[in-house]
Amino acid sequence: AVVISAATLHHHHSSATPKMMVRIGAVALALVGLTSAQSSGCRREPPQRIGQTTVVNIKDQGADRFYRIHVPSGYNVDEPAPIVFSYHGWGSSASFNEGYMGFTKTSDTHGFIVVYPEGMSDYNRNSNNGWQSFNAVGSTTTLGDECTKSTTGYCYQSCGSRAQGCGRCDWTTCYDDAAFTEAILDSIEADYCIDTKRVFAAGYSNGGMMAYEAGLRVGDRFAAIVPGGGTPFVGHNNAPPVSRNGAVSVMDLHGTSDRSCPANDTTSVDGWNYEPVDNVMKVWATAHGCSNSASMVKYNTAEDGDTKLWCVKFGSCADGVDFVRCSYNLGHHWLGYNSNGGTGARLAWAFFSAHPKVSAAELNNMSKISQE
């Protein structure tokens, strides 16, 4: 952490104008986000082997669930580590996703813990049977406009057992996966030394939607999200509750020729209606108090040009808060897919590492300073 004392500021800026002092104050506030906050698991012997990926079983909402966890080879029980959740796509699995999104090698390189949750597969029976899914941003609360008239969803058992049954466009499990995420996070924070200001989520397709869900529902604990190839359904582009949860920065990744969840159109090739990425970014930027939330400027990354990667950010936001959309020359695929430590994993981690948690109080103070 960097500490700047008031005496130091006064000594070096004795002739500073009020506006200069405001800027200094903003810098000092921004530095607050650089400090770490330890979880209760610090100094405890880790239950899983360091440098390996382990399957962990967990009971949640009466169901037997599990996740994969990779603890980096350099993990130290005295040093708070960041954590990244990586959610798989519909019908996929935690084990496939570890290879597909490729965070494991990046985890070892940069020293963060990565978690690969397994979605529920209760479409035909309770055991996993290839229908693994996450309940996210409108997938089980559909009102009818989320899919075209020629499309019908999938009635999972957990949805069919509700009083209202299944909506025509419902298509995932109805288990509460935000609560599942919190249960995993509670368990890991109790067992490992976690930097609670550096908790992040990424995912692809249905997993990208789940990253948005985590940012909305568990936004008090997540600092930033990188959803890929998945946006909220039409009618479910909800603003995050920033005054309660603090800031959650977003980098959305979409292939330019993605037709399964198109970036710029509404209706997918198989008849599902998603919010265009620009609409989502504007809602999130506006909710965070960014000015000119519809304006876009180039956002530079170390991976620019890889598969024609190009990123822009929306609005003028507080220090340490960004809303970015990135496009690249692929269809419905994660950038650098099937590559351990690939482009998408590196890009996501670079964004995460630059965006520790900015609390509601810190955001509010920065907003007041900018207006003075």
pLDDT tens, the chain, 372 aa long = 333 323 333 333 333 333 333 333 444 444 444 457 899 999 999 998 899 999 999 999 999 999 999 999 999 999 999 999 999 999 999 999 999 999 999 999 999 999 999 999 888 655 556 799 999 999 999 888 899 998 888 999 999 999 999 999 999 999 999 999 999 999 999 999 999 999 999 999 999 999 999 999 999 999 999 999 999 999 999 999 999 999 999 999 999 998 888 787 788 988 899 999 999 999 999 999 999 999 999 999 999 999 999 999 999 999 999 999 999 999 999 999 999 999 999 999 999 999 999 999 999 888 655 554
Identify the three-state secondary structure at position 299: coil
Neighbouring C-alpha atoms within 13 Å toward the C-beta of 326: 30
For residue 261, what pLDDT is reported? 84
pTM of the model: 0.89
pLDDT of residue 365: 87
Give the span between the Cα atoms of 25 and 290, in whole angstroms: 19
Question: Which residues face 117 on adjacent strands?
Answer: 67
DSSP state, residue 335: T
- 34 phi/psi in degrees, rounded to 5: -85, -15
pLDDT for 256: 94
d(C-alpha 33, C-alpha 83), whole Å: 16
Structure tokens at 120: 């529920």
**Predicted local distance difference test score (pLDDT) of residue 32:** 42
pLDDT at residue number 152: 84
Residue 104: per-residue pLDDT: 98
Give the pLDDT of residue 112: 98
Distances (CA, A) of 68 to 3, 48, 74, 156, 272: 37, 11, 18, 24, 30
What's 118's DSSP letter?
Answer: P
Rounded CA separation 231/276 (Å): 7
| pLDDT computed for residue 126 by the predictor | 52
**What is the C-alpha separation between 62 and 122, in angstroms, rounded?**
13
- Which residue has 């998408």 as its token pair? 344
